[in-house]
């Protein structure tokens, strides 16, 4: 049976709620009918410009209404959106534009110079469309606003739910970024999964601070559009502005990574705002420490805390820990979504016993089609017909999954497997520690040993020995940090995940020098 196509998700809500506010960005508010009309004009213009089914169009934009318009217009004509992280260096952006063979790019006015600098290396790129550009059309670019001066209408394109819709480039923690190809069905089934698990309704008002170039951002707004709710975009994360918006707009649902929720609680004015409307508090991309969960429950008394887990390659959601289990199953990412099959297996792809560590593998309608133009990486990822996550996990007797660590983050010291996440959980219980990351560093005797990198709360101080002593009570001696370093902040990727590769590289650079 065919699932809804991405643009049909918008069409359905437009028919049901034409006059409801769909999207809010800066001071602009747009109804479902207005959004639908603008999407049609944009889709018609894209066809007029020669964009056909299967053509790639890159998006280099901050969070804003135009992002959503582009996604739905591209979906309507069967073109493929290539969202790009605006924090990347020009050479990295050039790689993605070249690898994806993008014919057009829609770019924010503030980011035009980045594309101008690399344009001569991009023979496939035929057109640059600039948002927030009030100049007239010239040879180098086309102002986005000008598109809507003419009533373009799109011609119908025959589409299947398995047709490509997105190429999302993973953060490239190993080598060059890989483009995960996601279909219309992937995105629709993911939106359905979240809506069912969270109990979303037409009355949702969500705040999106997660960047829209990340699958988490696209997923968040597509599920609320599917239900006919309202989405409010922030173009950057500002804790005070988030709290103000929670209060003023009566936000019911928001998805952020643990470090962002933590920053809201740490803000000196956090107690001044009415946050009682928040009903669904979703966290992902990193494990939520138990202490943080308890503080979130206290601060947002009407909200259920949902821990979710997934990756770009799974559109992204795969599991959730429901609020009823939030404290008694802390550290777990819960049970699989309705439409996702998950196993935890050993090297031979046999299911491991409860309590034994194995790798998480996935199958189902939200799993990507493969990596774009990369058959080797695709074959490696889909060994035995299942998508291999690269994450190590254990299940308990009831089937609840706990992610132990990334395979590549595991530390082997004197033949013992050490999982950094276990040590980080202990560090997070210390009242003076705001953030912590644990990595393995070379050790002449044991092969590797444990190093903790710590960000302290404002005005607090600790010594290396105090941190080590604190861990002694909770961890076996071989798991205790041997070294502790205090940092101003931890490096993160766009999804808010701590970049341990960067921390390890800094460590090896020091060793060499």
Q: What would the pLDDT profile of 41-63 be if each residue is shown by its tens digit?
A: 999 999 999 999 999 999 999 99
Range of weakest confidence among 327-331, 364-368, 490-494: 490-494
Residues 6 and 165 sit within 8 Å (Cβ to Cβ): yes
Band of pLDDT at residue 497, cut at 50, 70 and 90: confident
Please report the pLDDT score of residue 493 as a whole number: 81
Q: Beta strand 21-25 with 28-31: parallel, antiparallel or unpaired?
A: antiparallel
Three-state secondary-structure class, residue 295 = helix
Check pLDDT > 70 for residue 452: yes
CA dist 181 → 87, 174, 267, 387 (Å)? 21, 18, 39, 13
Please report the pLDDT score of residue 289 as a whole number: 84
Please report the pLDDT score of residue 382 as a whole number: 98
Average predicted confidence (pLDDT) for the chain? 94
Degrees to nearest 5, angle at CA 431 with 429 and 433: 80
Do the domains 27-182 and 237-407 sit in the same CATH topology, yes or no? yes
Pick the CATH number of 410-512 from 3.40.50.720, 3.60.15.10, 3.30.300.30, 3.40.350.10: 3.30.300.30
Check pLDDT > 70 for residue 7: yes
Please report the pLDDT score of residue 22 as a whole number: 99
Check pLDDT > 70 for residue 184: yes
Band of pLDDT at residue 89, cut at 50, 70 and 90: confident
Please report the pLDDT score of residue 317 as a whole number: 96
User: How do the domains of the chain map onto residue ranges?
Assistant: 27-182, 237-407, 410-512
Please report the pLDDT score of residue 1 as a whole number: 61
> For 34-38, what is the mean pLDDT?
99
Q: Is 54 left (phi over 0), alpha (psi -120 to 50) or beta?
A: left
Place of tokens 């909770």: 474
- Please give the Cα distance from 389 to 318 (Å, whole number): 11
Residues 307 and 402 sit within 8 Å (Cβ to Cβ): no
CA 117 to chain centre: 28
The two three-digit tokens of residue 134, written as one number:
């009030």
pLDDT digits (tens, 9 = 90+) for 200-239: 999 999 999 999 999 999 999 999 999 999 999 999 999 9
Place of tokens 């009309």: 37
Three-state secondary-structure class, residue 99 = helix
User: Which value, to the nearest 10 degrees, does the dihedral of the CA atoms of residues 393, 222, 63, 113 take?
Assistant: 90
Range of weakest confidence among 262-271, 349-358, 470-479: 470-479
The two three-digit tokens of residue 282, written as one number:
């979703």
Residues 461 and 445 sit within 8 Å (Cβ to Cβ): no
CATH number of 237-407: 3.40.50.12780
CA dist 126 → 66, 206, 256, 399 (Å)? 20, 36, 36, 51
pLDDT digits (tens, 9 = 90+) for 282-310: 998 777 888 899 999 999 999 999 999 99
3-state secondary structure string across 308-362: EEECHHHCCEEEEECHHHCCCCCCCCEEECCCCEEEEECCCCCECCCCCCEEEEE
Q: How many of the other CB atoms lie within 10 Å of CB of 483?
A: 16
What are the phi and psi torsion angles at 15 (to 5°)?
-65, -40
Q: How many of the other CB atoms lie within 10 Å of CB of 464?
A: 15
The two three-digit tokens of residue 253, written as one number:
């649902």
Place of tokens 């138990």: 290
> For 93-119, what is the mean pLDDT?
96
Q: Can you name the residues that pair with 28 across neighbouring β-strands?
A: 25
pLDDT digits (tens, 9 = 90+) for 363-411: 999 999 999 999 999 999 999 999 999 999 999 999 999 998 887 888 9
Q: DSSP characters for 134-150?
A: -SPP-SS-EEGGGGGGS
Residues 111 and 105 sit within 8 Å (Cβ to Cβ): no
Among the listed residues 443, 442, 420, the one whose alpha carbon sits nearest the alpha carbon of residue 490:
420
Counting every residue, how long is the chain?
Answer: 513
> For 76-89, what is the mean pLDDT?
95
Among the listed residues 298, 318, 315, the one whose alpha carbon sits nearest the alpha carbon of residue 307:
318
- Please give the Cα distance from 48 to 312 (Å, whole number): 32
The two three-digit tokens of residue 85, written as one number:
């992280």
DSSP structure class, residue 494 = T
Q: DSSP characters for 14-65?
A: HHH-TTSEEEEETTEEEEHHHHHHHHHHHHHHHHHTT--TT-EEEEE--SSH
- Please give the Cα distance from 58 to 495 (Å, whole number): 19
Place of tokens 């309202």: 230
- Please give the Cα distance from 432 to 462 (Å, whole number): 8
Residues 208 and 231 sit within 8 Å (Cβ to Cβ): yes
> For 413-441, what is the mean pLDDT?
92
CATH superfamily of 27-182: ANL, N-terminal domain (3.40.50.12780)
Please report the pLDDT score of residue 445 as a whole number: 83
The two three-digit tokens of residue 334, written as one number:
């819960």
Among the listed residues 304, 341, 276, the one whose alpha carbon sits nearest the alpha carbon of residue 200:
304
Among the listed residues 419, 431, 413, 420, the one whose alpha carbon sits nearest the alpha carbon of residue 453:
420
> For 3-28, what is the mean pLDDT?
97
Check pLDDT > 80 for residue 438: yes
Please report the pLDDT score of residue 416 as a whole number: 83
Please report the pLDDT score of residue 58 as a whole number: 99
Please report the pLDDT score of residue 402 as a whole number: 94
């Amino acid at each position: 049976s065919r699932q809804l196509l991405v643009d049909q998700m918008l069409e359905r809500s437009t028919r049901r709620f034409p006059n409801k506010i769909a999207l809010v960005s800066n001071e602009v508010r747009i109804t479902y009918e207005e959004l639908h009309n603008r999407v049609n004009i944009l889709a018609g213009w894209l066809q007029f410009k020669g964009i056909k089914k299967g053509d790639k169009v890159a998006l280099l934009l901050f969070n804003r209404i135009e992002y959503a318009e582009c996604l739905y217009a591209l979906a309507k004509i069967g073109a493929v959106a290539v969202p790009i992280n605006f924090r990347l260096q020009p050479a990295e952006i050039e790689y993605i534009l070249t690898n994806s063979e993008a014919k057009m790019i829609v770019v924010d006015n503030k980011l035009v110079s980045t594309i101008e600098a690399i344009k001569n290396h991009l023979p496939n790129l035929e057109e640059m469309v600039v948002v927030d550009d009030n100049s007239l059309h010239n040879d180098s670019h086309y102002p986005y606003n000008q598109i809507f001066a003419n009533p373009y209408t799109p011609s119908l394109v025959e589409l299947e739910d398995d047709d490509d819709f997105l190429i999302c480039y993973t953060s490239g923690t190993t080598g060059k970024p890989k483009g995960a190809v996601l279909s219309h069905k992937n995105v629709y089934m993911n939106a359905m999964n979240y809506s069912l698990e969270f109990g979303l309704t037409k009355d949702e008002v969500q705040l999106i601070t997660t960047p829209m170039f990340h699958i988490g951002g696209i997923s968040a707004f597509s599920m609320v559009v599917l239900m006919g709710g309202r989405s409010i975009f922030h173009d950057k994360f500002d804790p005070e502005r988030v709290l103000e918006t929670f209060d003023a707009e009566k936000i019911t649902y928001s998805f952020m990574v643990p470090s962002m929720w933590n920053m809201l609680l740490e803000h000196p004015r956090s107690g001044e705002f009415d946050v009682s409307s928040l009903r669904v508090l979703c966290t992902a991309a990193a494990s939520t420490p138990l202490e943080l969960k308890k503080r979130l429950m206290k601060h947002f008394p009407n909200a259920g805390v949902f821990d979710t887990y997934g990756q770009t390659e799974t559109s992204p959601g795969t599991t959730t820990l429901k609020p009823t289990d939030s404290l008694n199953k802390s550290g777990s990412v819960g049970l699989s979504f309705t439409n996702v099959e998950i196993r935890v297996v050993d090297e031979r792809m046999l299911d491991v016993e409860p309590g034994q560590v194995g790798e998480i593998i996935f199958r189902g309608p939200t799993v990507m089609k493969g990596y774009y133009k990369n058959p080797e990486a695709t074959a490696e990822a889909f060994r035995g017909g299942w998508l291999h996550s690269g994450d190590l996990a254990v299940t308990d007797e009831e089937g609840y999954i706990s992610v132990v660590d990334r395979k590549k983050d595991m530390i082997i010291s004197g033949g013992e497997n050490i999982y950094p996440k276990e040590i980080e959980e202990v560090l997070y219980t210390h009242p003076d520690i705001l953030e912590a990351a644990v990595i393995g560093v070379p050790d002449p005797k044991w092969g590797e040993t444990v190093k903790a990198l710590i960000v302290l709360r404002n005005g607090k101080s600790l010594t290396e020995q105090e941190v080590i002593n604190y861990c002694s009570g909770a961890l076996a001696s071989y798991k205790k940090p041997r070294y502790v370093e205090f940092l101003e902040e931890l490096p993160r990727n766009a999804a808010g995940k701590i970049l341990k590769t960067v921390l390890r590289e800094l460590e090896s650079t020091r060793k060499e020098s």
